[in-house]
Chain A
Amino acid sequence: MTIYNLYIFDREGQCLYYDEWFRTKQSGLAPIQEYKLVFGMMLSMKSFVDRLATNDSNQTVNYYKTSAYKMTFLESATGIKIILNTDPNATGIRDLLHRIYQAWAETANSAANLEMFASTNPPNESFLKSRVRDIVMKHSAYV
């Protein structure tokens, strides 16, 4: 099992954080273009499932799976979107995403960082990076 890569987006679709571990294939796009594509696909997928399901209005996409990877989604109430690519058979990913979100929230909401996230640069802050890496590498799906 493997964990491939991680994207964190704000609610406007700005990629705030990106990290990768065992990614073996690049998409062939510039990073910014790739982030846009990931975010755009997630939005289309949301609209797709909303149109398809008719019974209730509250619905979230959990994940999709292909023959080679699994993309798991988590959206917070504030619109922060966390997307993680793993091996299709990885388990406990939802829980991992919650922990990443928690680390994110704690880092991002400390007063010293508020200004940092207002800027347009994606904050590849080393502190956040070390925390996220720590969480991901300790997970059982990370080999």
Chain B
Amino acid sequence: MTNHIQHLFIINRAGSLIYSWEARIETPEVEKTYEWPIDVHLEEVDQKAVVVFGEKEGVKLRYYVKSVNGEVVTGTRLQQGALQVNVLEYLQEEDNYPVTVRFAAPTVSTNEKIILSSMFHSLFTIAVQLSPCPKSSGVEVLETTQFKLFCLQSRTGVKFVVITSAASNIAADSLLSKMYELYTDFALKNPFYSIDMPIRAQKFDEAIKVLLEKAEKSNGAVTF
């Protein structure tokens, strides 16, 4: 059985991320040896060398350059002896060919999760303002061709967000309220937890893990 729950976020009332969980998915990687000139078009996107045009033979759009000739690329920087060179410039030089490039599928880094959380926080607020009828909440469900996002905002303004695959029919309502319950039990009642700060508690991690397994098995119907 494939797992449908992909991400889980808890966003505090100011819009910053205080907890996140991600399903372990192995990211596909492709290694290819190129002759001059390279036939995929790369550009720097979010400090990575990303394929923007010319996908073929397993190298897809949005894949990023992970290593060149076995040397790991950090951001767009590639270590060459004592020097650090820009990987995009390196791949423009004919002298460096043939070159073996390893591409990896895109992932959501911790930094990006923080950005996404504050983005969602503002989208949520705008959705309230744009409502054509009174007393609207913010975004509760967002559906795209690839995933479904469910959000529960507590009375105190904390948002619980669950992202499932588009194919899933998990009813996230009870899952979200159960998450809220775990948050109050394991974060708020923890004497060492200060409010609005990231949640670092082993008990909470474990409880979330158990909850997600249960939800996955029962299609989201979590009984109290």
Point out residues on A near B: beta carbons under 8 Å. 2, 4-5, 20, 22-25, 27-28, 34, 37-38, 41, 44-45, 47-49, 51-69, 71, 85
Q: How many residues of B contact A (CB 8 A)?
A: 40
Q: Does the CB pair B143–A66 fall under 8 Å?
A: no
The 8 Å CB contact of A44, one of B119, B128, B130, is: B119
Instruction: Kindly report which residue of chain B lies nearest to residue A68, judged by CB atoms.
Output: B136
Q: Does the CB pair B131–A62 fall under 8 Å?
A: no
Q: Does the CB pair B116–A66 fall under 8 Å?
A: no
Q: How many A-B residue pairs have CB under 8 A?
A: 118
Point out residues on B near A: beta carbons under 8 Å. 7, 27, 60-62, 105-108, 112, 115-116, 119-120, 122-123, 126-147, 149, 163
CA distance A51 to B152 in the complex (A): 21
CA distance A5 to B130 in the complex (A): 11
Q: Does the CB pair A24–B137 fall under 8 Å?
A: no
CA distance A72 to B57 in the complex (A): 36
The 8 Å CB contact of A59, one of B27, B126, B139, B145, is: B145
Q: Which residues of A contact B108 (CB under 8 A)?
A: 51-52, 54
Q: Does the CB pair A66–B131 fall under 8 Å?
A: yes
CA distance A35 to B106 in the complex (A): 33
Q: Which residues of B contact A66 (CB under 8 A)?
A: 127-128, 131, 136-140
Least distance between A116 CB and chain B CB atoms (Å) = 27
Instruction: Kindly report which residue of chain A lies nearest to residue B141, judged by CB atoms.
Output: A65
CA distance A109 to B1 in the complex (A): 49
Least distance between B119 CB and chain A CB atoms (Å) = 5
Q: Which residues of B contact A23 (CB under 8 A)?
A: 132-133
CA distance A27 to B126 in the complex (A): 10
